[in-house]
Chains A and B, each alone.
Chain A
Amino acid sequence: MDWTRAARTGTPRKPPGRDYLSGVTRPEDILVPSPSGVCCKLGGFHIDPTRPVERAVITHAHSDHARAGHGAVLATQETLDLMRLRCGENFASTTQALAYGESVYLGGAKITLHPAGHVLGSAQVAVEASGLRVVASGDYKNVADPTCAPFELVRCDLFITEATFALPVFRHGDPDAEIAKLLHSLTLLPERAHLVGAYSLGKAQRAIALLRKAGYRAPIYLHGAMQNITNYYVGRGIALGELRLARGASKSNLAGTITLCPPSALNDRWTRRFPDPLAAFASGWMRVRARARQQGVALPLVISDHADWNGLTATIAATGASEIWVTHGQEDALVHWCTSRGLKARPLGIVGYGEEEDAGTAAGDAAPPLCDENRDEGERQ
């Protein structure tokens, strides 16, 4: 049985109510944590599993959440398209697209996707049964982003939140001010090529959109690894202005320009094609000086696609959930915050999330690819 058939035949005759026969009496009966991701026994699917499974709901196309090799995959059209771009045509046996706000039913569970505001196509997964609702957020941010649909708050009984930046030291601030820093540096050091390290999916396109919003009209150069995904964004109607590949440009023409590249390329031989390159890095991690310095970043730009401390805590409170599960990141601090406010909270300890981020922050060579990501780092001199 794949997703498509499940969705068509699985629609119950009556809307799901509190159904004692299904055995669902508490939110944790709907989803169960497992080492490879949360699992819905009722519907027979996993959310963002880190191992190949029969049926997977994927929140977004970052490689730590979206792995190749599952049987049936349910996700937004954008996420499916992006997975295809990154992992190849045959990343799953079957796929089914689900638009934001639409629902499918599977084994008595109702599945609805809601915008997560993280990257293009990113979704929160709401699973309902017996009148209870669980929301698995995936990665999310509750601030404006011109390249994706805004985060939608979904009230629920159990909220599964990420915790990438779950320490009070992480307050991301205004991304426009960070872009202004980059543009100021460009006027101050006009003979230097400004390289901006940014994750290939999401951050790079958002940084370009923010530059355009700030009135930067010059062509923006791209590392080859970003070309496909960026073209896809443009194809989805996101205006990014004139883009060029750095590969074709002569060294002297790159003085005083901005080039977006994967973070791992900042210390790569690839940088030798640029005149006196200056390494910038757009990431929430840049808030902490030691992290920026370890990576030899000269211009840290605090621009994050994850909610910061205030964003996480405000969202948790607004969902109205009485129980919170915390995945990947600084679980301790967020669990402490929840418990001190009378919320039931526990860390999930799922192994494998957050690796796409870390692959980018490792100072050394690119981490081993999770799927066919080597094309991402594939541009060599």
Chain B
Amino acid sequence: MNRFGELLGRLAYEPSRNNKLRLITDYFRSTADPERGWALAALTGALRFPHAKPGLIRNLIAERTDPVLFELSYDYVGDLSETVALMWPSGPSESGKERDEEPTLTSVIETLGTLGKAQLPRQLARWLDALDETGRWALIKLVTGGLRVGISARLAKAAAAALAGRNVDDLEVIWPGLAPPYHELFAWLEGRADKPTSSDPAPFRPPMLAHALDDADLSELNADDFKAEWKWDGIRVQAVAGRQDGDPAGRLLARLYSRTGEEISKSFPDLLDALRLPGAIDGELLIKRDGRIQSFNVLQQRLNRKTVTAKLMNEFPAHLRAYDLLADGDEDLRERPFAERRTRLEDFVARLKELRIDLSPLVAFRSWDELITARKNPAAAGAGADAAAVEGVMLKRRDALYLPGRPKGPWWKWKRDPFVIDAVLMYAQRGHGKRSSFYSDYTFGVWTQGERGDELVPVGKAYFGFTDEELLEIDRFVRQNTVERFGPVREVVHEPDRGLVLEVAFEGLQRSSRHKSALAMRFPRINRLRWDKPPGEADRLDRLENLIQRIEQGHLQGQTAR
């Protein structure tokens, strides 16, 4: 348990994904079964301990420490698990008895599986007595649910796959059929056994992803080889249903997965009910209201809610727009060409007869020029009233097999041009990890009428989009033009004739009560440095107001807002 705690500790501090990966892989390599398997289960969020509540932990520490000292400590540390872990009386001298042997993660999990609620406090206390600070912290985090060390389930799986130099998708394919502590998985990864087979009736299949298309790429491609469809601005999902083995009633098990393989069924029960045929659809999750697909702004209002109520489902009805069919019944279609899968998909959706599930329509074109026109104005090219939710077009080779990962060539995504404004750099903050010595996070603003004439109002923050050379240039500018410092943040000169203009690109705009400008940008990044432009000539807030109104009315598409 102490070692697992040490791993969690390192992960919580390490900013780099690659280094996190190596830390976990190193742990898997140097830890025996079943301990590492349980660690994998903990990291992928596969474990739940319903009886261990924070209140229980609070009671335990109250019995052991002076309440004044506890409150002062809690106030200083700010986190209950950590305060308890650090304050817990340890060692024979303090607790007045011999230490038990340190429990393993395995013994903790196995014991919790059989322990009654009434015995839990005493058992937890014995474990806490036997562990060190890090071990205690990890134990409390583990049992009260929520390790929160910045690790996604996918990263933990990738770390396991890396044991054998494999890709995470190789593991995702079989993951649904596996159960902790994953003996057969590690045996396969270490070459001691065959690949485990998935027996899950509704498994996740690693998705196929597209490369971004540059306008220049187009001339190298033959329009006849491709079909095109809209790229919908929602969340990419996989909707799977399958018959449960041995279920006499032959009931279907339905699941909804995110692109990364996280199961999100619980958030969309309204859609789950519609999956009434065995098969696997690759599609986009959207909100459809009054017969019209809503923009991402609207979808986000549903995604932000923790609990799914009837009211929420009524106001924001979930809808699946189908792109592809990966399985029809028991038949795996992934080895078939896209054109064939498309026909099967059309047939499948027709058989489903579900209002909540429809086809993503193909975009008709005979030449690239026609597609260029369609991309510029989706409303006129078939998307109609749904155009507000279109964020570009997808090109798919007719003969493309469904390959996991991001193979180059068969699929291309061609997003609409971003919105672009000229904004003025106002504040800069140091980055993290590799960028900790650089001012790399920028808050920028546009002009608006203030009480005393024109003033800049912050409209967003961006920390990428620039090249390494540009980063150096901005960093130098920030250091030489600081007007005030607030801890790690520097205020940079921003006057009509002195300052730095940043061309900022973004994907969308929405209203926000959290910001002074009442606006929030989606996916903002630095497009270009406008050393040539005086700050006084940067854009005004009116322009963003105007943009958001047009976006909301669904009038604006593929617009370089120039």
Contacts and interface: CB of A to CB of B under 8 A. Distances in A.
Nearest to B432: A296
B169 interface: no
B66 A340 contact: yes
Given A340-B66, A363-B488, A296 B436 contact: yes
B437 A288 contact: no
Contacts of B559: none
A333 interface: yes
Given A297-B13, A340-B66, A364 B82 contact: no
B23 interface: yes
A336 interface: yes
Contacts of B432: 296
Contact of B437 (A181, A269, A300, A337): A269
B453 interface: no
A169 B436 contact: no
A289 B485 contact: no
Which one of A181, A189, A267, A340 has the highest number of Cβ atoms from chain B below 10 Å of its Cβ?
A: A267
B437 A189 contact: no
A173 interface: yes
Contacts of B26: 188
A261 B19 CA distance: 23
B13 A173 contact: no
Interface in B77-94: 77-79, 82-83, 86-87, 90
A267 B87 contact: no
Contacts of B485: 364-365
B291 interface: no
A168 B73 contact: yes
Interface in B8-43: 9-10, 12-15, 19, 22-23, 26
A374 interface: no
Interface in A168-217: 168-171, 173, 181, 188-189
Which one of A181, A188, A271 has the highest number of Cβ atoms from chain B below 10 Å of its Cβ?
A: A188
A363 B487 contact: yes
A272 interface: yes
Given A189-B22, A287-B86, A168 B76 contact: no
Contacts of B83: 169
Nearest to B75: A167
A266 interface: yes
A169 B76 contact: yes
Contact of A290 (B73, B79, B430): B79
B86 A298 contact: no
Contacts, number: 94
A189 B436 contact: no
Contact of B77 (A268, A288, A363): A288
A330 interface: yes
B123 interface: no
Contacts of A171: 86, 90, 133
Nearest to B93: A310
A297 B83 CA distance: 20
Contacts of B68: 333, 336
A298 B87 CA distance: 23
A173 B430 contact: no
Interface string B173-201: 00000000000000000000000000000
A364 B490 CA distance: 10
A64 interface: no
Contacts of A300: 13
B433 interface: yes
A298 B11 CA distance: 9
A56 interface: no
A279 B436 contact: yes
Contact of A169 (B6, B86, B433): B86
A175 to B, nearest CB: 14
A196 B157 CA distance: 32
A167 B69 contact: yes
A: contact size bracket = 35 or more
B487 A188 contact: no
A268 B437 contact: yes
Nearest to B87: A168
A189 B73 CA distance: 35
A332 interface: yes
B81 to A, nearest CB: 10
B514 interface: no
Contacts of B132: 173
A270 interface: yes
Nearest to A363: B488
A293 B437 CA distance: 15
A251 B135 CA distance: 37
B12 A293 contact: yes
B74 to A, nearest CB: 9
B117 interface: no
A330 B76 CA distance: 10
Contact of A299 (B13, B77, B78): B13
Contacts of A363: 430, 487-488
B65 interface: yes
A292 interface: yes
A292 B437 contact: no
B13 A293 contact: yes
A289 B82 contact: yes
A119 to B, nearest CB: 25
B434 A333 contact: no
A31 to B, nearest CB: 27
A373 interface: no
Given A173-B133, A267-B436, A298 B79 contact: no
Interface in A336-361: 336-337, 340
Contacts of A330: 72, 76
A167 B485 CA distance: 31
A335 to B, nearest CB: 10
Nearest to A192: B19
Contacts of A293: 12-13
A270 B65 contact: no
B77 to A, nearest CB: 6
A276 interface: yes
A289 B12 contact: yes
B27 to A, nearest CB: 10
Contacts of B87: 168-169
Contacts of B23: 188
Contacts of B90: 171
Given A169-B76, A330-B76, A298 B13 contact: yes
Contacts of B19: 189, 298
A328 to B, nearest CB: 15
A271 B65 contact: no
Contacts of B65: 168
Contacts of A364: 485, 487-488
A340 B67 CA distance: 12
A290 B13 contact: no
Contact of A270 (B14, B76, B437): B437
Contacts of B14: 298
B24 to A, nearest CB: 11
A273 B14 CA distance: 20
Contacts of B22: 188-189
Nearest to B6: A181
B487 A296 contact: no
Given A168-B87, A364-B488, A276 B69 contact: no
Given A167-B73, A169-B73, 9 more contacts: A171-B90, A181-B6, A188-B22, A188-B23, A189-B19, A267-B488, A297-B13, A298-B14, A333-B68
Q: Which 9 A-B pairs have the closest CB atoms?
A: A169-B86, A169-B73, A267-B436, A333-B72, A168-B87, A298-B13, A296-B436, A269-B437, A271-B437
Interface of B: 6, 9-10, 12-15, 19, 22-23, 26, 65-66, 68-70, 72-73, 76-79, 82-83, 86-87, 90, 132-133, 430, 432-434, 436-437, 485, 487-488
25 contacts: A167-B69, A167-B72, A168-B69, A168-B87, A171-B86, A188-B22, A189-B19, A266-B436, A267-B437, A267-B488, A287-B86, A287-B133, A288-B77, A288-B82, A289-B9, A289-B12, A289-B82, A290-B77, A292-B13, A299-B13, A300-B13, A333-B72, A363-B430, A363-B487, A365-B485
